Amino acid sequence: MVAVAIIVGSLREGSFNRALGAVASQALQAHGANVTWVDLSEFDLPIYSDALEKGAFPSDALRLKQIFSAQDGLLFVSPEYNGSIPSLLKNAIDWASRPTGDEGPVALTAYRGKAAAIMSASLSPFGGLRGLAHLRQILSTIQMMVIPEQVLLPNAHMAFDAQGQLQDDLPASLITMTAARLVAVAAALRA
């Protein structure tokens, strides 16, 4: 079974990206993935600094890196903040990119050669497009294989019904397509 973690870049109560991640989780499981939900509110991650890293690598940064390292694929679901990704998410990605133990400086054991997919829900009619462009570039820099499919959910405040399901067929079908490809690519890269 392919292991996939979902990381949401918002801590907001009622987050649309968390709701989108929940729908994506169902789709991933339907395609045979073993899903781990990474709730960044459960990780005490200080802003990355070299001094902290050299002093005592934060235990939650190590825990996050270990969770990522155990996956075959990662799904990032994040809002766009001012045309990019939230510092919450960038900081988490940065910590888990750091070498630990005997690893070389660019070992990137949490990420290298694994499959990634990206999704964004936004209040705007553009659906977080600029943020996803940055996220795709960041994940490529840390040597993830980011699949071409992606999900943009514009006008997110009008997108979900009372049960948290998507009201329109188009975004729902894009989520299914993206989940299927992520599972397939993650399995192929692991083999």
Ligand X SMILES: Cc1cc2nc3c(=O)[nH]c(=O)nc-3n(C[C@H](O)[C@H](O)[C@H](O)COP(=O)(O)O)c2cc1C
Residue 131 identity: G
Residue list 135-164, contact with ligand X (CB under 6 A) = none
Our CA dihedral for 48, 53, 57, 63, rounded to 10 degrees, sits at 40
Residue 59 identity: S
The nearer residue to ligand X, 73 or 131, going by C-beta atoms, is: 131
Identified binder of ligand X from the candidate list 82, 105, 161, 163, rule CB under 6 A: 82
21 interacts with ligand X by CB under 6 A: no
81 interacts with ligand X by CB under 6 A: yes
Q: Determine how β-strand 33-38 pairs with β-strand 73-77.
A: unpaired
122 interacts with ligand X by CB under 6 A: yes
**φ/ψ of residue 69, rounded to 5:** -65, -30
10 interacts with ligand X by CB under 6 A: yes
22 vs 154: CA distance, rounded Å: 17
**Reduced to 3 states, what is the DSSP secondary structure of residue 171?**
helix
Identified binder of ligand X from the candidate list 22, 45, 52, 123, rule CB under 6 A: 123
The nearer residue to ligand X, 98 or 130, going by C-beta atoms, is: 130
Residues within the interface to ligand X (CB under 6 A): 10, 12, 15-17, 79-83, 121-124, 126, 128
